[in-house]
């Protein structure tokens, strides 16, 4: 995802809002921000005490994507009649990943 944003390779799942107008500098900023996610999730994979923080951050991300999906700012850049369904499907995929991680975290806690 970071590489795709850095080089503006706009494909679904690497870019949630792959078909909206953008500025190249925004993609560069996102590419560096994704590195923080990488570090957080790597740390969480090595230290269980960090895992809940990663799950919470991912939940905030899902919430944020949902808010963007219903925002007037997004509606303003969409073409007439353009659906937000692709963005919701991708947001749903991230939410599903969140639920899987939460399930695994809770299940692992019962076995610890």
pLDDT tens per residue across span 23-49: 888 889 989 999 999 999 999 999 999
Stated pTM of the model:
0.88
Number of domains in the chain: 1
Give every residue of the chain whose pLDDT is below 70, as ranges.
110-112
- Nearest-10 Cα torsion for 69, 15, 64, 47: 150
b/e per residue 75-94 (b: at least 16 CB within 10 A) = eeeeeeeeebeebbebbeeb
45 CB burial (10 A radius; 0-12, 13-18, 19+): exposed
Q: In the structure encoding, which two tokens stand for residue 40, read together?
A: 């957080």
């Amino acid at each position: 995802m970071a590489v795709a944003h850095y080089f503006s390779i706009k494909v679904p799942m690497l870019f949630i809002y792959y078909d909206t107008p953008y500025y190249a500098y925004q993609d560069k900023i996102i590419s560096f921000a994704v590195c923080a996610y990488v570090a957080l999730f790597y740390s969480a994979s090595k230290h269980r005490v960090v895992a809940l923080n990663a799950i919470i951050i991912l939940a905030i991300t899902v919430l944020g994507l949902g808010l963007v999906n219903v925002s007037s700012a997004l509606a303003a850049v969409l073409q007439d009649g353009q659906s937000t369904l692709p963005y919701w499907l991708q947001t749903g995929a991230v939410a599903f990943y969140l639920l899987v991680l939460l399930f695994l975290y809770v299940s692992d806690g019962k076995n610890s």
